Structure 1
């Protein structure tokens, strides 16, 4: 009888310990002791298919993490579906991820129109949608959309950063502004005006253009006639290449600032003419694998080793791979911070509690920081200037924060 009693107490102790350990774990949909299931949609087909490199790089990075044992013992299962850069298809595929695949969260979905299309649905379902690939301001409005968060600097923040640069370097400037008449251009232009504050009178003329217009020649003619000595060009690649050529042809000597959306040497500056592009200013926040300045950089070496092992057939010089790689690293960091409390509520809480995270492929001085009132992880940019061959850093990193 005495022996039975001791065995009973031992069994009760084991059961109590197991129950306590289990009680310390809290799981949302898509989470088990061995897996965290997440989803995204990407333009693997359609007009924006070049951006699908982001999703491929994220999948490859999670494969690397899984091969190393996962995060807190759990493998990351990313289900990445094609949306063709079509908002209706993005909605259809996202509903499948949430309602059929029962993913824990949406992570890294690319594109402004596609993310706009799914934002209300995901927030109504209280599904975290993290580190989304868009600079649209609306994606990171916690009062209205508490379950959404972008990743890169938003367009308003970039406008503020440009304003800070001009106020410091050209305080007496006369500024002409060209912007695309959509959320991208309007957010960027508003950020610039807000950044100038009571110096907004430095803007002598603002003009917009529609995506359906064949050229922006008429707008450039009017802006040049103002005598402006700074030209803020918030256009997308096709129109930026036109503007660079036209500015050179008309010998307009204004300092030409490009949106970062048009920073591609291959897609914008080469078609515009490298000589014409010399001296153009833009912004950057991540390292460029094309830049020989990073040849001996530890972060770049780590990235290139990853590419050789996990994406051997991909173009190592494609900057969208860097984007996906760093986005995936950000999510892994948040997942690590969650521990065994893997509820959707805690995932959002940890995503809004990132403090000074420096990633290997972000430019020196740029760190990820979030809070309840700062929902955009990256809020800094490095001003860069094209020297005829590559983008060269100018001055110090600038933050959009006051």
Structure 2
């Protein structure tokens, strides 16, 4: 009996050691909580994007009120980086080394996510649903532990614009206003994919820095190129300026607008609603202001969510829709991970999403990932601004 008791004690000790080791591997996880972190531009020139983080915080407040995920509450620690990459690095180090988060979720910005990727890979911290459409983050050879967000990649979006401009509009010259970083360069790469050797003859480019006060001079220079198509690959402040300036100087090319700047309140109204009439962009999420969705269950649920959990949020700002989609996708991954919230299993579940339908994505657009596919969304639909709202046209397109 004494030997049997000793054996039982040894087995119990071994089990405790195993479970303690397993728990230690699950950084940021306790019996009652999962800590996740992100950085957002709550200040600075791109603070308009802060609505994304506010929506995600609100979503997980709802999740927690309903009991959490697999019995654990979600603690989302969202820090301000002002859209400045060195500050993103500083805040991310704090999240990993002080707050000990289980993963980084939906940090915003291309240069920002690029600045922290190698650090997070070295620390074995998942970098999930990045709030950037830069195609580089879908390149597994460069970013094996990153996963793009619930948005179509910029480069694929630009390919659709190029094909439409050339094949449907017969464009001969294309002017591009591009942010001077990987965000802007992705749009140029998409145009080059389609135009190939004709790129240099067809495309005129003017770039800007996010620290510049205005891009009026760039727009004037681009008008002088004689372009019949103008692609605005810009973030909200500069997109609004470009829209307003083209209107003021009487330049009337067909305008395409990056879908990161389609916001009615922070872009179109700032530019002047009349100035934006006819602009073409792309959509992959439902617009709650579109009468098409007045009876849609997903939109009704979103409006109820906004009324209760983000009552001060602007329902015209689709960043709140995007944040809702991003957070819902992460909820799916964490639910699938179950009790094993190790980085390895979180990655495994993030890279095995099959035909996930989110209620605020356009019908027919589904989220899919695989170990060799870290780009969850690849489909879009064209839309045109009518002076009051965006109207979708054509079929759902798969950009490739």
Q: Deviation string for 1:203-224 (max 9, x for gaps)?
A: 2534434556665555545544
Indicate the residue corresponding to 1:392 in structure 2: 391
The whole-number CA distance in structure 1 between the counterparts of 2:258 and 2:52 is 20
- Report the alpha carbon displacement of residue 399 of structure 1 after superposing the two structures with TM: 1.8
From 68, 78, 99, the equivalent of 2:97 is 99
Unaligned runs of 5+ in 2: 1-8
The answer to which of 300-309 and 240-249 deviates more is: 240-249
1:54 equivalent in alignment to 2:55: no
The 3-state SS of whatever aligns with 2:91 is helix
CA contact (8 A) 2:263 2:318 kept: no
Q: TM-score, with normalisation over the residues of structure 1?
A: 0.85
Indicate the residue corresponding to 2:278 in structure 1: 279
The whole-number CA distance in structure 1 between the counterparts of 2:66 and 2:237 is 43
Larger radius of gyration: 1
The 3-state SS of whatever aligns with 2:62 is helix
The whole-number CA distance in structure 1 between the counterparts of 2:72 and 2:300 is 27
Aligned 1:236-385 pairs, distance under 5 A: 236-385=235-384
The whole-number CA distance in structure 1 between the counterparts of 2:45 and 2:235 is 14
Structure 1 residues 250, 99: CA separation in 2 closer, same or farther (over 3 Å shift)? closer
Indicate the residue corresponding to 2:143 in structure 1: 145
The whole-number CA distance in structure 2 between the counterparts of 1:205 and 1:90 is 32
The whole-number CA distance in structure 1 between the counterparts of 2:48 and 2:338 is 35
- Report the alpha carbon displacement of residue 386 of structure 1 after superposing the two structures with TM: 0.8
The answer to which of 228-237 and 180-189 deviates more is: 228-237
- Report the alpha carbon displacement of residue 171 of structure 1 after superposing the two structures with TM: 4.9
- Report the alpha carbon displacement of residue 198 of structure 1 after superposing the two structures with TM: 6.4
Indicate the residue corresponding to 1:4 in structure 2: none
The answer to which of 20-29 and 278-287 deviates more is: 20-29
CA contact (8 A) 1:160 1:196 kept: no
Q: Deviation string for 1:74-120 (max 9, x for gaps)?
A: 32222223333333333232222212222211111223343233222
Structure 1 residues 172, 201: CA separation in 2 closer, same or farther (over 3 Å shift)? farther
Q: TM-score, with normalisation over the residues of structure 2?
A: 0.85
- Report the alpha carbon displacement of residue 349 of structure 1 after superposing the two structures with TM: 1.8
- Report the alpha carbon displacement of residue 40 of structure 1 after superposing the two structures with TM: 1.6
C-alpha RMSD of the superposition:
3.5
Indicate the residue corresponding to 1:40 in structure 2: 38
- Report the alpha carbon displacement of residue 36 of structure 1 after superposing the two structures with TM: 2.1
The answer to which of 250-259 and 336-345 deviates more is: 250-259
The 3-state SS of whatever aligns with 2:232 is strand
Q: Deviation string for 1:362-391 (max 9, x for gaps)?
A: 122222122233212222222110112111
The whole-number CA distance in structure 2 between the counterparts of 1:47 and 1:172 is 33
The answer to which of 344-353 and 173-182 deviates more is: 173-182
- Report the alpha carbon displacement of residue 347 of structure 1 after superposing the two structures with TM: 0.9
The whole-number CA distance in structure 1 between the counterparts of 2:225 and 2:72 is 60
The 3-state SS of whatever aligns with 1:396 is strand
Number of residue pairs matched? 398
CA contact (8 A) 1:26 1:343 kept: no
Indicate the residue corresponding to 1:8 in structure 2: none
Indicate the residue corresponding to 2:133 in structure 1: 135
The whole-number CA distance in structure 1 between the counterparts of 2:50 and 2:116 is 18
Structure 1 residues 397, 168: CA separation in 2 closer, same or farther (over 3 Å shift)? farther
Aligned 1:197-212 pairs, distance under 5 A: 197=196, 200=199, 203-211=202-210
The answer to which of 325-334 and 285-294 deviates more is: 285-294
Structure 1 residues 18, 117: CA separation in 2 closer, same or farther (over 3 Å shift)? closer
CA contact (8 A) 2:378 2:398 kept: yes
Structure 1 residues 48, 23: CA separation in 2 closer, same or farther (over 3 Å shift)? closer
The whole-number CA distance in structure 1 between the counterparts of 2:211 and 2:72 is 48
The whole-number CA distance in structure 1 between the counterparts of 2:315 and 2:243 is 28
Indicate the residue corresponding to 1:79 in structure 2: 77
Indicate the residue corresponding to 2:5 in structure 1: none
Q: Deviation string for 1:323-350 (max 9, x for gaps)?
A: 2111110001111222233220121121
CA contact (8 A) 1:35 1:74 kept: yes
